[in-house]
Structure 1
Amino acid sequence: MEIITGYTGKPHVTAEQDRDVNEGIFDTGSFVLKTGSQLAAELVSNNEIKIRDGVLVIQGCTAVIKKNTYDPVTIANGSQGMKRIDLIVARYNKNEETKIEEVTLKVIQGTPNASTAAVPTYKTGDIQSGDLVADMPLYKVTLDGLNVTSVDKMFTVIPTLPELSSNLVKTAVYMNNGAYNIAQSNSEFQGTDFSKKILDNIGLVHNYDSTNYKHTFTVPQDGIYLIHAYMNFQQGVTKQLSLYAKLERNNVEQSRQSKLIGPYNGADFMFLNEINAGDKIRFTVLQSSGSVIQVSGGCRLNIIRMGK
């Protein structure tokens, strides 16, 4: 075993080792990092495109166009009445004799065609296996006659670690503290008790207004939320009845569902809504059985944040 990030008294870190570490972080593909202008393309003329500053990773090998600068690339003249597709690639090249490595921008010119132009081939290569050339496609340049009609991005910009973390699926599970009754009502939705936290890596804040018997949850982060509520009836329901459920956000109804239930021991409802940070959500129910329904201590509110 050899140390990489440590002092050994002599130069010892190799490009191959650095690429191995990068592949462990970014995977073995090729990407642009979210820094600078992210290698944005600017069409200057039918013969020139500027590639702005940014950092790319091509199979673990990093390369940069310095901040606040650009690299120009030259597009060969088109032909009247012909179509053509060129590729702008970042090319890794290793000199077999000197072992010197470089990454430069290259234009791979396509073949003109009167009707349909084909994308030219490029060398994928495998740097870690010793290939001397490996291309990373950056832009597809389409020419119609003498004019460049489009410059289309072909690479992926990978998100930062905080962005990845913010888009992870997160869950919360709450239950009711004990049995309670859902009174018969023809019009008024009633609050439900989901105040017992079982699991929460979303960071919801449970609020309880004891005067109005309102249980709400404050959402800490924007996102798409899947909200699943399961109502467990302590003694079951012996006849068919309609049970209604409503999701409120900041005291405004967002969605309503109804179910014809019985004879069952429970019922579940599911809502999918976009919710913003700071919003308060509330789940309420209404039943019209003509009698009280007792809810057991086995009710659950499952909330899943599915990303932005």
Structure 2
Amino acid sequence: MVELVTGHANKAHATAEQAAGLNAGILGLDDYVLNVHDKFKITVVSANKVTIGTGELVMQGRHVSQGTPEDLIVTNGSQGQKRNDLIVCRYTKGSQSVESAKLVVVRGTPTTGTPTDPAVNTTSPLDGGTTYDMPLYRIPLDGITIGTPVALFNVLKPMSDVWDSLTPVTGQVKMPYSDRHITLVRVGR
């Protein structure tokens, strides 16, 4: 049954799932940090603490906002071993369909060889997943030392930044299955 979501229905009726579907339809099914605030900038504070700055992101259509910086604890490394941890934004859908998001450090496995990233939750909430992780940073540890964090996200540019790079469409186009032609003209800004 069709429903007008962005119209007055004389009752509360628009759902978070509908808003997420709209976001995913417009922005795509990838995960993005938006080009505002600190863009989740990371600062290594100590051997086991990082600060994640402010930002906005869209993961699988869900909009997540961080209005104040947040400190995260990275479990200490071990002498003679290497490890990759991941900082992720974790979406969860709990009991009574209550949804939430938080920043989490996913601990990797220590090794004397080449470390690999830990597994994360990849089933999209759009496909019924109840836990989904958007990786933000890889935190390499060599012994007890935190290395340089590696950003794992894409920043979505606003339309004002990409508008002029779009190819203008002008000229005549023949309509399929018709003898009619239409003229397309780009309207400038």
Pairwise TM-score range, normalised by the shorter structure: 0.7 to 0.9
SS at match of 2:97: coil
Question: Over aligned residue pairs, what C-alpha RMSD do you find?
Answer: 2.1
For the residues of structure 2 that align with 1:49 and 1:168, how far apart are their CA atoms? 39
Output the amino acid matched with 1:159.
Answer: K
Which aligned segments of 4 or more residues in structure 1 are displaced greater than 3 angstroms?
Answer: 169-172
For the residues of structure 1 that align with 2:137 and 2:6, how far apart are their CA atoms? 36
Taking structure 1 as reference, are residues 9 and 170 closer, same or farther at Cα in structure 2, changes over 3 Å only? closer
Output the amino acid matched with 2:37.
Answer: G
Deviation at 1:170, TM superposition (A): 4.8
For the residues of structure 2 that align with 1:165 and 1:27, how far apart are their CA atoms? 17
SS at match of 1:150: coil
1:238 aligned residue: none
For the residues of structure 2 that align with 1:109 and 1:130, how far apart are their CA atoms? 25
2:177 aligned residue: none
For the residues of structure 2 that align with 1:3 and 1:110, how far apart are their CA atoms? 46
For the residues of structure 2 that align with 1:19 and 1:135, how far apart are their CA atoms? 16
Taking structure 1 as reference, are residues 4 and 171 closer, same or farther at Cα in structure 2, changes over 3 Å only? closer
1:65 aligned residue: 66
- Gaps of at least 5 residues in structure 2 are 171-184
For the residues of structure 1 that align with 2:6 and 2:90, how far apart are their CA atoms? 28
Output the amino acid matched with 1:12.
Answer: H
For the residues of structure 2 that align with 1:50 and 1:122, how far apart are their CA atoms? 21
1:28 aligned residue: 29
Spell out, residue by residue over 1:183-206, the C-alpha distance to the aligned partner (whole angstroms, 9 max, x if none). xxxxxxxxxxxxxxxxx97x9xxx
Deviation at 1:137, TM superposition (A): 0.4
Spell out, residue by residue over 1:97-116, the C-alpha distance to the aligned partner (whole angstroms, 9 max, x if none). 32111011111101111121
Q: What is the total number of aligned residue pairs between the two structures?
A: 175
Spell out, residue by residue over 1:111-146, the C-alpha distance to the aligned partner (whole angstroms, 9 max, x if none). 111121111111111201211101100000001111
For the residues of structure 1 that align with 2:137 and 2:143, how far apart are their CA atoms? 19
2:96 aligned residue: 98
For the residues of structure 2 that align with 1:71 and 1:155, how far apart are their CA atoms? 18
For the residues of structure 2 that align with 1:171 and 1:98, how far apart are their CA atoms? 49
1:119 aligns with 2:98: no
1:163 aligned residue: 161
For the residues of structure 2 that align with 1:168 and 1:40, how far apart are their CA atoms? 29
For the residues of structure 2 that align with 1:115 and 1:150, how far apart are their CA atoms? 19
Superposition pairs for residues 182-193 of structure 1, below 5 Å?
none
Deviation at 1:166, TM superposition (A): 2.1
Deviation at 1:169, TM superposition (A): 3.5
For the residues of structure 2 that align with 1:131 and 1:144, how far apart are their CA atoms? 34
Looking at secondary structure, tell me which structure has more strand per residue.
Answer: 1
1:303 aligned residue: none
SS at match of 1:114: coil
Superposition pairs for residues 73-152 of structure 1, below 5 Å?
73-95=72-94, 97-152=95-150
For the residues of structure 1 that align with 2:82 and 2:55, how far apart are their CA atoms? 31
Spell out, residue by residue over 1:3-45, the C-alpha distance to the aligned partner (whole angstroms, 9 max, x if none). 1112111110101100110011110111111111111111111
For the residues of structure 2 that align with 1:71 and 1:13, how far apart are their CA atoms? 31
Percent identical among aligned pairs is 35
2:20 aligned residue: 19
For the residues of structure 2 that align with 1:100 and 1:113, how far apart are their CA atoms? 38
For the residues of structure 2 that align with 1:145 and 1:135, how far apart are their CA atoms? 26
SS at match of 1:57: strand
Larger Rg: 1
For the residues of structure 2 that align with 1:155 and 1:90, how far apart are their CA atoms? 11
Output the amino acid matched with 1:19.
Answer: A
SS at match of 1:98: helix
